Amino acid sequence: MDDVKEIRRGTLQTQTFYEQVGGEETFRRLVHRFYEGVAEDPVLRPMYPEEDLGPAEERLVLFLMQYWGGPTTYSENRGHPRLRMRHAPFAVDRAAHDAWLKHMRVAVDELGLSEAHRTQLWDYLTYAAASMVNTAD
């Protein structure tokens, strides 16, 4: 045991998923591409009361960055995410779920992430999309 070296707390370097995939720039590209699809989607676009999708895009960017280990700006500005509560005013059915995932799939695929990162991100997004469904078909 004399040759075992102590590793002091706080000295190990670990990167968050946010950092591993390229940080803010990656999440901004993801969400911008996603909203390009939403803007033209007949199922999703009516769910956004704002004429300009920019504020919704910014909220999603900040949420995803925070979720994946980036800055906590989302919570600092808006409080706890409470995603189901925030989506409750909108009828999110299977068609909306599928449309959301269709546009997100395109956006994720265009990022050029490693297979492991793409899978991890996609697994979360499919879980999140299923969690938002609040209306039966």
Residues 68-126: tens digit of each pLDDT: 999 998 877 766 655 555 555 677 789 999 999 999 999 999 999 999 999 999 999 99
**Residue 29: which of 96, 98, 112, 100 has the closest Cα?**
112
Predicted local confidence at residue 119, as pLDDT: 97
Share of the chain above pLDDT 90, in %: 61
For the chain, the structural domain boundaries read: 21-132
Checking if the pLDDT of 25 tops 90, the result is yes
Instruction: Give CA–CA dist 108/49, Å, rounded.
Output: 25
Q: Which residues of 96-113 are buried (b: 16+ CB within 10 A; e: fewer)?
A: bbebbbebbeebbeebeb
Regarding pTM above 0.75, the answer is yes
> How confident is the prediction for the chain on average, in pLDDT?
86
Answer yes or no: CATH 1.10.490.10 is held by domain 21-132: yes
pLDDT of residue 34: 97
Looking at residue 135, what DSSP letter applies? S
